Amino acid sequence: MTANVSISSVSDLSGRRIYIEDVYPSVDGGRFAVKRIAGESVEVWADIFRDGHSVLAADLLWRADTADKWARAPMRLHNNDRWTASFTPPSPGRYAYAIEAWTDTFGTWRHDFLAKRDARQDITLETQEGRQLLAGLKPRSKADAFIISEALRESEAGNDAAPLLSEELLAAARVQHSDRTCSDVFPLYADRPLARASAWYEMMPRSQGRIPGKHGTFDDCIARLPEISALGFDVLYFTPIHPIGHTNRKGRNNSLGAKPGDPGSPYAIGSETGGHEAIHPELGTLEDFRRLVASCAEHGLELALDFAIQCSPDHPWLKAHPEWFKRRPDGSIQYAENPPKKYEDIVNPDFFGPDKEGLWAALRDVVLFWLSQGVRIFRVDNPHTKPFEFWEWLIREVQSVDPNVIFLAEAFTRPKVMKALAKLGFTQSYTYFTWRTGKEELQAYLSEITRYPEREYFRPNFFTNTPDILPVHLQTGDPWTFKARVALAATLSGNYGIYNGFELIEHEPIPGKEEYLNSEKYELKVRDWNKEGNIKNYIGHLNWLRQSNPALLQTSNLRFAAVDNPDVIGFVKESVTGDNAIAVAIALTRAGARELWFHFGDIEIGPPGARGRVTAVENLITGERRTVEWGGVRLRIEADQDPVLLFRCIA
């Protein structure tokens, strides 16, 4: 018995002869945008090949989303059918790139001609064929037409093939063939430099006052700006600044019964005085806020606002737009939950309700409102609990108005969900660093988020602590641990942050939980910012070292070094340009004085074309220089001094 087999005719086949494969960089085959920094070169690579021995030519095409025409850059063959070229996005915004390839007919003639000439074969007919080929080309420009015509004239005048063999003519005759093939189009988003490197200082503005029991104001925040700037931070991040609801207001330590004077949680947004576009009256006015934004700029700081999509039951939207909230059978609205946590003072809007378009537009307009007040950075609360498609839409909408806007995803959730949010457009992402403490797990986690393709779209922001999270390892209050954790955050990641109080070694937890006792989420705080035992100078020096060494202001170019101590992690970071490389050794635990061998292995440093093994290191603190012998250096970390050693690497 013969099986039924479908036979395709030759005319059914595609006829494609040129293949463009394995385009780098790309995220999910071009579904999502690669992230880069405006003003820096973007290298693009691809496998390009065809059947036979014909010579190929290829161009890298690129343009801004708002541009009508493609810019072109010729690609060069690297080796093994791997081609490359680069382009530089000049300013923040959305871009696209693609690759075109075609048979280079004149280049093929030239290649075969040279092979026959070198083999001492008769090339008379080949010379005539070359002239015919040139005469039939349609040059891309008047300049190319002149070069071709001059080559033809000289060759015919002297009956000589030499004028046909110049590199200048080869470039001028690089005319597209009828078999031109184009790759898919790949998206890219170019951010401003702060997207790759930033140091965040998080605080609750209402707790910046100096009088116990008195609500802080924007003026109190302005008074703290010189200190925060002097510590080397460049982003000042505020928890929500909006009016706080009264219904089910939380009392101290998240208790259900608020007492008179309890300010409530700033995340219970909305009251009779307004919602997401309003300011809590005790903080100040909108004019005061604008003055704060201007003062931040004067101190080299940018203000980041919390964008929390949740409402107090008193939020004006519940009356003005009841259709934006889903009702239960008894007519009530379910308060927010994240079992076992309960948020009785918060309700969430329904993203797929009967007026989905109206709700989405209102939320976009909230961001645009604060954008109009000078805010360009938004930390988004729990984005993983909202629809993915909403974020992709909203981020595109906002960045189409101002491509400088940065979005930080506060999503401590499953790894694939965190990565999906980054793909959808979030500029930076919270991470599991907050809980990674051991050497092996730190190395494994950093290796995961700095490999390909994660490094193309996932920009980590390492927060040491948050108002919600006091990690167990900080609950001892050991200054050594606090120093080690902030050093890890500041050196491993280009972006990192601390929540205020970290510099004062605040560490009292609710027993058995990773939460602060007497949290300022539910009460006003007044602190002595110069409290004895603080590590402000230590943090300030770390930030100064970061700013002085571009290698520390990025995350992707990170290589771990072999260190013969299980409690000491070692790594080398190198700047984008390759002209700055820093070696770091950090003791993860306080365990007495330790001597260790820091082995560089096969790590090479330096700019392209001048890379080499590390030959010496220079201590960034003391200036002491050590020669690398047998591939490494012997180091010592003292028990009661600094848990961190930093060295400039010399090739």
Q: Which of 104, 381, 456, 574 is catalytic?
A: 381
Per-residue burial over 451-481, b if 16 or more Cβ lie within 10 Å, else e, is eebbbbbbbbbbbbbbbebbbebbbeeeebb
Cα distance between residue 331 and residue 82, in whole Å: 64
State how far the alpha carbon of 443 is from the alpha carbons of 23, 298, 473, 632, in Å.
Answer: 28, 39, 18, 20
- Among left, alpha and beta (phi > 0; psi -120 to 50; other), residue 444 is alpha
Q: Are strands 235-238 and 198-203 parallel, antiparallel or unpaired?
A: parallel
According to DSSP H, which parts of 373-507 are helical? 388-401, 415-424, 439-449, 454-457, 479-492
Quick one: CA torsion of 60, 65, 71, 75, rounded to 10 degrees?
Answer: -10
DSSP state letters, 75-121: -EEEETTEEEEEE---SSEEEEEEEEEEE-HHHHHHHHHHHHHHTT-
User: In whole angstroms, what is the distance from residue 589 CA to residue 440 CA?
Assistant: 14
Q: Which of 410, 454, 523, 574 is catalytic?
A: 410
For 290-344, give the DSSP string.
HHHHHHHHHTT-EEEEEE---B-TT-HHHHH-GGGSPPPTTS--PEEEETTEEEE
**410 catalytic residue (yes or no):** yes
Active-site residue, 22 included: no
Residue appearing with tokens 């790894």: 415
Angle at 300 between CA 295 and CA 306, to 5 degrees: 70
Task: Judge contact between 310 and 381, C-beta under 8 A.
Answer: yes
Helices (H), ranges, 512-589: 536-548
CA distance 172 to 151: 11
Describe the chain by its helix, strand, coil percentages, rounded to 5: 30, 25, 45
The residues assigned a catalytic role are: 381, 410
